[in-house]
Amino acid sequence: MVLHGREVAYRFEGTGSLIVLVHGMAGSAATWDRVVPALAQRYTVLAVDLPGHGSSAKPADGDYSLGSLASVVRDLMLALGLDRGTIVGQSLGGGVAMQFAYQFPSRCERLVLVGSGGLGREVTPLLRVLAFPGVEFLYPVLFARVFRDVGRGVLDGLRKIGLRPSAYVEQIWQSYDSLTDPEARAAFARTLHSVVDGAGQRVSAKDRLPLARDIPTLIVWGSNDGIIPSRHATDAAATLPNSRVEIFEGVGHFPHCEDPDRFVRTLGDFIDSTEPAHVTDERFARAVAESAIS
């Protein structure tokens, strides 16, 4: 679909109440492939390729801030005739989901954060290094196609002898593979710099989380997440009385890929056991006013 003159790719299937799936940095809607078929049996599922990712447009002058990405998700919903739903975001997508709930609270029935960014300063040192000023000039070397081709050969060789890489390795590899494309690299650099600097995550939703108190919130994390620490889940839940936390033991940064059956069950149980929020603009305005200090 073309929105505002630029292509936005998405996957849309199923019937029932709406679930919107938002992927992480250097990812795409394909990250949800292990859970979409099961979810689509009960729900309408929309999985979007954020601008700069997957098959969506990657303009050099694009705005890759969380606010802009959240607006694209809203605009895609409107273009498809979708009013409101459960917004699910993983990693960077978690930050987008929280921004969506903040900007468009009346369209967010529930909020699901999966290994989410925006809940603390800590993040893997690799992203911090990649965010240092000037390092993007090394990206063509770090993400060279020759390394991609070697990696593909190794993975194909392993599959031929019956060894399948773990879901975690596959997700990391798909991210690396995507960054061998020059346009994707440029978009990645702009996206990364909008949320991470040399000291860690530079965008925090903690000050606005209490405004989401009327929106049922599920926080899912892997206990072995080496990209964003799982303690961010419990820290966030402490400020959200209408939330619950599910820690997947032995799982890393991609619970929906590493344990898809449990993820589908957990998400389904959450939706079944909570009433969708109906946060009007007036109600949200009152919450903002109550949080203000004059």
Report the alpha-carbon distance of residue 188 to residue 197 in Å, rounded: 13
Place of tokens 């679930």: 19
Q: Is 84 helix (H, G, I), strand (E, B) or coil?
A: coil
Paired with 125 in beta bridges are none
Q: Is 182 helix (H, G, I), strand (E, B) or coil?
A: helix
| Helix segments in 44-166, DSSP class H | 66-79, 92-103, 125-130, 139-142, 145-160
- The DSSP code for 40 is T
- Per the document, the length of the chain is 294
Sign of the CA dihedral with 251 first, then 252, 255, and 257 last: negative
Quick one: tokens of 294? 């004059």
**Pairing label, strands 10-13, 217-222:** unpaired
Sign of the CA dihedral with 274 first, then 276, 280, and 284 last: positive
- The DSSP code for 32 is G
CB contact at 8 A, 233 and 206: no
| Sequence-ordered list of residues with C-beta below 8 angstroms from that of 160, at least 6 positions apart, any chain | none
Place of tokens 């990657």: 58
Active-site residues, by number, are: 91, 225, 253
